[in-house]
Amino acid sequence: MQTLVCVEPGKFEYGTGEIIKPGKGESLLRIKRIGICGTDLHAFEGTQPYFQYPRILGHELSAEYVKGDAEGFQPGELVTIMPYFYCGKCIACRNGKTNCCQNIKVCGVHQDGGMREYFTVPSYSLLHSEGLNEEALALTEPLAIGAHAVRRAAVHPGEFALVIGAGPIGLGIMEFLKIAGAQVIAMDVNEKRLSFCNEKLDIPFCINPAKDDATGCLKEITNSDMPTIVIDATGNLKAINSAFQYMAHGGKYVLVGLQKEMISFSHPEFHKREASLMSSRNATKEDFLHVIRNIKNGKIDASVYITHRVGFDQVKDNFESWLRPETGVIKAMVSFE
């Protein structure tokens, strides 16, 4: 079986590996599609927390079920996975928050992922395709990240929600904010991505803080109230720290993007707003099913996210280019056929 390993920051190598036979509670999959996500890009850069090398990347996937003991799944069936492998015993798991299990193992991060021809996973992680095609199914995971963040924010219809960062995760957040009835504002320093928000996702308010007076624009859009929900999807320290000033009084700030360093903010400014600060990590089965339903009912067109397509044998030569904004990549999709 062929594999692709990130042996160290900035370096990929193709290799071979044995197909791991599924044991009790496991299933063997044949990979069909894998999406390249920010986690993969940051791992290649060497800026991804919780990471050790060498590592097989990849956790946004669709696959063919080969064999195993997953109840209700048939050989040849198209599936995806929830790539957050949990212990089922810690306090988070006991409370249904398997997405932040104390002993979590995210495939492609804490342990080897799916950038290989065959992949053995816990049977509990499998999800039926529900009729979605291979590419849409591979996009359910990043969209579920957005769905979970919006659920954390407990959105009320009509309220203004600012999303900072118009990469794939930020775009998914915007989609689910719209579905929840929010008035969405996109913020990014990349004009191409802001244009994508406006043209493809019909986001009416787009702000480039490198060119615009961000605070002034937000006041104008919200009638001086400021957004009651602010969600960071950048993981950029400067962006995270700056966004505290964008919250309305009584507002909520949800951190989806991940940063290695310490964040800092004015306690008096935060306190006087009686603001809420929370993180949003991964997603749960509820979020995945919400994504699948909304792709099936046509509220989300997953195909608009895919800007680049390559074969598995082309990933090594193309990967570094996806780090460069000028390539215009939103989502690169890898095919194993």
pTM over cut 0.85: yes
Question: Does residue 241 surpass a pLDDT of 90?
Answer: yes
d(CA 66, CA 326): 40
Burial category of 162 from C-beta neighbours within 10 Å (exposed 0-12, middle 13-18, buried 19 and up): buried
What is the residue range of 232's domain? 149-279
Instruction: Give the H or E element holding residue 246.
Output: none
What digits encode the pLDDT tens for the residues 122-161? 999 999 999 999 999 999 999 999 999 999 999 999 999 9
Asked whether residue 273 is domain-assigned, the answer is yes
Question: Does residue 49 surpass a pLDDT of 80?
Answer: no
Asked whether residue 12 is domain-assigned, the answer is yes
Question: How many residues in the chain?
Answer: 337
The band of 176, judged by pLDDT with boundaries at 50, 70 and 90, is very high
pLDDT given for residue 326 in this prediction: 87
Instruction: Give the H or E element holding residue 152.
Output: helix 140-153
CATH (domain of 257): 3.40.50.720
For residues 285-310, average pLDDT: 96
Both 42 and 6 in a single domain? yes
Both 172 and 131 in a single domain? no
Both 226 and 316 in a single domain? no
Both 190 and 104 in a single domain? no
Both 261 and 203 in a single domain? yes
Burial category of 96 from C-beta neighbours within 10 Å (exposed 0-12, middle 13-18, buried 19 and up): exposed
Both 6 and 109 in a single domain? yes
pLDDT given for residue 42 in this prediction: 87
CATH (domain of 81): 3.90.180.10
Both 208 and 315 in a single domain? no
